[in-house]
Structure 1
Amino acid sequence: MTPTAAPALEWRGVTIGYRRPGEPELVAVDDVSLRVGRGETLGLAGESGCGKSTLAMSVLRLLPRSSRLEGEVLVHGEDVAAMSWGRLRAVRWTEAAIVFQGAMHSLNPVRTVRWQILEALELHADRGGSAESRQARVAELLGLVDLPVARADAYPHELSGGQKQRVMIAMALACDPDVIIADEPTTALDVVVQAQVLDVLSALVRERGLTLVMISHDLSVLAAVCERIVVMRHGRVVEQGPSERILTAPEHEHTRELAAAFPVIGDPASRRVVGRVASRDALDAQRTEPTPQRPEPVEGRSPDPADPPLLEVRDLVVDFRSRGRAVRAVDSVSLQCRRGEIVALVGQSGSGKTTLARSVLGLQRPTSGTVLHRGHPLPTDRAGLKAYRRAVQFVLQDPSASLNPKHTVYQAVAEGVQIHRLPGDEAEHVAEALRRAELNPPEAFFGRLPQELSGGQRQRVVIAGALALQPTFLVADEPVASLDASVRGEVLALLLELQRDLDLGALVITHDLGLAWNIADRVVVMHQGRLVEEGSVEQVLLDPRHAYTQSLLRVVPSRLGSRP
């Protein structure tokens, strides 16, 4: 095969393992062979730990030293493993580039956007040209991803999540590569920003003829951009084919689970019923062959509307100072949450959802207004706040930022138990919390560090830390935003189990309207610091009255991968 006839990317019999001292080798990719033609758009789907990111990182030899690779990884017919360091450096950015999963962690927090894009151009001076042409190229790249040129002088913390992700795409395009690998480019983004990022990727592929490999656990997101989808499980390819066929007529059982994992708003089969079992049964209803008997799915229960509010917010206002001017993040918000009630607080990034949650937890002092717990104002003394924060626990959005990288899982979960001096055996408290968070057997996780866990496992450790204190209410900020299909189902099923068995209520902050349909009793929509719509799930999601709510629903990817 001549280089000109070679596909853009090819994996031939690739096996990748990770070695750890004193432990058997973990095989992440097991004898995978794939070809990606020039100008093709390929989606890599699967759950956390299936090997899709490992396969992608092998393209530019970005695997850690502990890895072992067998087989061939070819870029335009050239074996990456055989490249000299100089040749590899030339291939990176100029022939193939990667948009990494977490923009907030991939961007340098102390450098401007301009500096970070210029870095790639300066490393490849033959592509960057003169200083003036490099500056013009920065403006051109920002325009390609629909960012104003003024954002070039902004720092990452001054950008929204979607803007940071678009900066990552601009950096990847800096040296005009033929191949772009996008690793979960829309994970944790709200539905509006997700739609914008997908539109940017689609337009770049269409207008520039790029070869795109996109990684996600959400098949509908992949189908919105990619012509072909490859599904991986346990390091192997279990199914591949055209996107529409994979979504509408999946053949492998695991593909069927992924296809049905994200509920369709309005589907009664997924209302207040969660988990892989529920998703599989919903898809099986569309098929003719008999299915094996399965256990009952997890179902929620409805709270008593006559119960007094457990948590209440009255006319809350939160102002910040930014560049010498006041910015109102929360504007006269009033909200009630009852015991055993799951309330979904939805809205775009920057709408004020997380600021409201921090105020509810006493982590952010409001400018005015009141937060009440069981009818009493939020305590301000140290002992009172300590007791309150045991009863009302916070589950943070980003497990990488929540967990100390030097603390084991046991230490992370036991920290709260030690601070609050819970009676009983500490190890049993930790083990029970890990069991409830679906980390089994718990003892196998005690000595592991965060970097040794998948993204989904890290999020479950965070949830376990909250559950260890046996709270009566959870404030969960995007608790499943970065989780794959089955883990998402397990975590949401866990919330319904806790609601059903312990009468545990929750304020779930999310951009995922499907999640709200799945588990919530009520939906509250927040926009520009205000609550613009509130009501039952059926009323808000099926018959929205506010234009903003209607706009959110319009950009939700459907099971067929299109956006209405």
Structure 2
Amino acid sequence: MEIEDLRVDFQLPDGPVPAVKGISFTLNKGETLALVGESGSGKSVTSTAILRLLPELAEVQGTIRLRGEDLLTASTRRMRELRGNRIATIFQEPMTSLNPLHRVGRQIIEVLSLHRDLKGRAARNKALELLEQVGIPEPARRIDSYPHELSGGQRQRVMIAIALACEPDLLIADEPTTALDVTVQAQILRLLKSLQKRYGMAILFITHDLGIVRHFADRVCVMRYGELLESGTTHDVFDNPQHDYTRMLIDAEPSGEKAPVASDAPVLLSARDVRVSFTIKRPLFGPKVAFEAVRGIDLDVRRGQTIGIVGESGSGKSTLGRALLRLLKSKGQINFDGINLSPLDAAALRPLRSRMQVVFQDPFGSLSPRLTVGEIISEGLRVHHPEFNRAQRDAKVCEALDEVSLDLSMRNRYPHEFSGGQRQRIAIARALVLKPEFLLLDEPTSALDRSVQVTVIDLLRDLQARHGLTYLFISHDLAVVRALSDHLIVMKDGEVVESGSTRAIFEAPSETYTRELMQAAFAPDLG
């Protein structure tokens, strides 16, 4: 593929907005080229322009050639022939890319029917073969599953099967591993590498995670604000970056470590033999089955401490966090500042809620789109401090925004008007306005660029130092956990596999599972 002087402008009512500003690069057969940069750099707009799937308000200029054929001048019918056939795509979130109403087998067969004219038994056999190639366990059973019945890694494997059904020349992978655990991420990248060798296809890999790029790509193009700032072999760009922005991206890794709290610091939250079970009903009048997600966990969180909880999806991390705050029903005993929470009902828990707050993974999903930032942050004040008048609430909102380094004028704007990092700061401000003692941080940085992650981590450290906050930090990003926590708990299948000081576990993990997590996070073997 050859791209020459590609420009994309969005024609908006207040004037054109340039998204891609005259970039040029080539991609050779069998090669992996990584497009890297922060959100808003133009990476995904570039890939969407290649597929000719930009909205009508986008004006595209330049040349995009695939095997010498200009895609920008190709007819709509010709582009339909090329998409899914010669050019395939894998998106970031497979759950939104797969049709929830159709079984995964049908979705693979649809591509084979459209582009390879395979029907009936031949199409189903080919779909089974593809599911086996991408490592889906029990493909004969999984072919009739719906997307929601599969794990995140399995759904992404189905997306890869669909993308590779017609053995494309070019695979565009747009943040295909961002939402996955480090072990699953390594598996998906190894799979892509092996399939690339088998089919000899080129891969355009779009990501903001330079840790992956270092191990996966042959060449790198660095983008910022729609411009191509630097390009070269992965080795050259990482070992000898020429542009200041490239150096900033490479250096934007969470660093430092948190000093442990005193061993005699008072215990703020304790848990004994915590268990959480869910009842799953089988379809078509099948029996109900109990599934134990958290199995007998003991935990002590001291004031000023940050306990990191790591593990793969399904390990029980988030379930444990919600159970500790009594957001889920659980068995066992949970004490907060000497108060036994286990027998308390919702009304009795309400006075304690202001002392225990949560910051979720996706700030866009957890912030109401219908409320202004000021209304979102003041909502807790209206519940827990009804004695405050409007002026007092506004003063508290301004104070919270100042704490997270946001301009006070922003309180009259809506969540969609902010970047991901700013939205996460708003979510933190919403929690802080009630002056809590304990914060549950559930994957608060996983959806953010590395450079934005660093600023959020610095903010959380600063707030903890200023207010003596206590954190329970849940994440699958081990680099972030190492930088922020002083005690670490490793979970698998609802149980604690390993527990101890963060430094000790990172320097000398005693369990095989912990070592596998470390290997996948910091030195993945991609074959």
Partner residue in 2 for 1:399: 363
Closer, same or farther in 2 for the Cα pair 1:256/1:373, shift >3 Å? same
Paired amino acid for 2:142:
R
- Counterpart pick for 1:196 among 187, 191, 194: 187
- Counterpart pick for 2:434 among 458, 462, 469: 469
3-state SS, counterpart of residue 556 of structure 1: helix
- Counterpart pick for 2:268 among 295, 310, 315: 310
Q: What stretches of structure 2 of length at least 5 have no aligned partner?
A: 283-287
Query: Contact 2:260/2:487 (CA < 8 Å) preserved in 1?
Result: no
Closer, same or farther in 2 for the Cα pair 1:441/1:82, shift >3 Å? farther
Closer, same or farther in 2 for the Cα pair 1:536/1:152, shift >3 Å? same
Instruction: Give the % identical residues.
Output: 40
Q: Does 1:76 align with 2:67?
A: yes
CA distance in 2, matches of 1:54, 1:456: 20
CA distance in 2, matches of 1:33, 1:101: 24
CA distance in 1, matches of 2:168, 2:54: 20
Paired amino acid for 2:313:
S
Partner residue in 2 for 1:146: 135
| Equivalent pairs, count | 515
Cα deviation, residue 347, structure 1: 0.7
Closer, same or farther in 2 for the Cα pair 1:546/1:65, shift >3 Å? same
Equivalent positions of 1:63-462 (< 5 A) are 63-122=54-113, 124=114, 126-148=115-137, 149=139, 150-263=141-254, 270-272=255-257, 302-322=260-280, 323=282, 324-366=288-330, 368-378=331-341, 380-421=344-385, 423=388, 424-438=391-405, 440-441=406-407, 443-444=409-410, 446-450=412-416, 453-462=418-427
Q: TM-score with structure 2 length normalisation?
A: 0.91
Closer, same or farther in 2 for the Cα pair 1:157/1:395, shift >3 Å? farther
CA distance in 2, matches of 1:330, 1:16: 50
3-state SS, counterpart of residue 89 of structure 2: strand
Cα deviation, residue 374, structure 1: 0.7
Cα deviation, residue 425, structure 1: 4.3
Cα deviation, residue 225, structure 1: 1.7
Query: Contact 1:73/1:79 (CA < 8 Å) preserved in 2?
Result: yes
Cα deviation, residue 128, structure 1: 4.0
Cα deviation, residue 259, structure 1: 1.6
- Counterpart pick for 1:59 among 38, 50, 74: 50
Query: Contact 1:219/1:247 (CA < 8 Å) preserved in 2?
Result: no
CA distance in 2, matches of 1:413, 1:80: 48
Q: In terms of mean alpha carbon deviation, does 303-312 or 537-546 score higher?
A: 303-312
Q: Does 1:28 align with 2:19?
A: yes
Closer, same or farther in 2 for the Cα pair 1:58/1:343, shift >3 Å? same
CA distance in 2, matches of 1:356, 1:501: 27
CA distance in 2, matches of 1:236, 1:403: 32
Cα deviation, residue 53, structure 1: 1.3
CA distance in 1, matches of 2:175, 2:480: 19
Query: Contact 1:38/1:211 (CA < 8 Å) preserved in 2?
Result: yes
Question: Deviation string for 1:117-146 (max 9, x for gaps)?
Answer: 233334x1x414122122112212211211
Question: Deviation string for 1:151-174 (max 9, x for gaps)?
Answer: 222222222221122222222222
CA distance in 1, matches of 2:329, 2:348: 16
Partner residue in 2 for 1:293: none
Closer, same or farther in 2 for the Cα pair 1:531/1:136, shift >3 Å? same
Partner residue in 1 for 2:9: 17
Paired amino acid for 2:173:
A
Closer, same or farther in 2 for the Cα pair 1:210/1:456, shift >3 Å? farther
Cα deviation, residue 201, structure 1: 0.9
CA distance in 1, matches of 2:152, 2:193: 19
Query: Contact 1:59/1:75 (CA < 8 Å) preserved in 2?
Result: no
3-state SS, counterpart of residue 72 of structure 2: helix
3-state SS, counterpart of residue 125 of structure 2: helix
CA distance in 1, matches of 2:179, 2:419: 16
Cα deviation, residue 429, structure 1: 4.1
Q: Does 1:529 align with 2:514?
A: no
Closer, same or farther in 2 for the Cα pair 1:108/1:256, shift >3 Å? same
Closer, same or farther in 2 for the Cα pair 1:410/1:16, shift >3 Å? farther
3-state SS, counterpart of residue 216 of structure 2: coil
Query: Contact 1:223/1:229 (CA < 8 Å) preserved in 2?
Result: no
Q: TM-score with structure 1 length normalisation?
A: 0.85
Partner residue in 2 for 1:279: none
3-state SS, counterpart of residue 465 of structure 2: helix
Partner residue in 2 for 1:41: 32
Query: Contact 2:220/2:233 (CA < 8 Å) preserved in 1?
Result: yes
3-state SS, counterpart of residue 143 of structure 1: helix
CA distance in 2, matches of 1:314, 1:258: 43
- Counterpart pick for 1:542 among 502, 507, 526: 507
Paired amino acid for 1:227:
D
Q: What stretches of structure 1 of length at least 5 have no aligned partner?
A: 1-7, 264-269, 273-299
Partner residue in 2 for 1:285: none
3-state SS, counterpart of residue 463 of structure 2: helix
Closer, same or farther in 2 for the Cα pair 1:49/1:374, shift >3 Å? same
3-state SS, counterpart of residue 168 of structure 2: coil
Paired amino acid for 1:319:
S
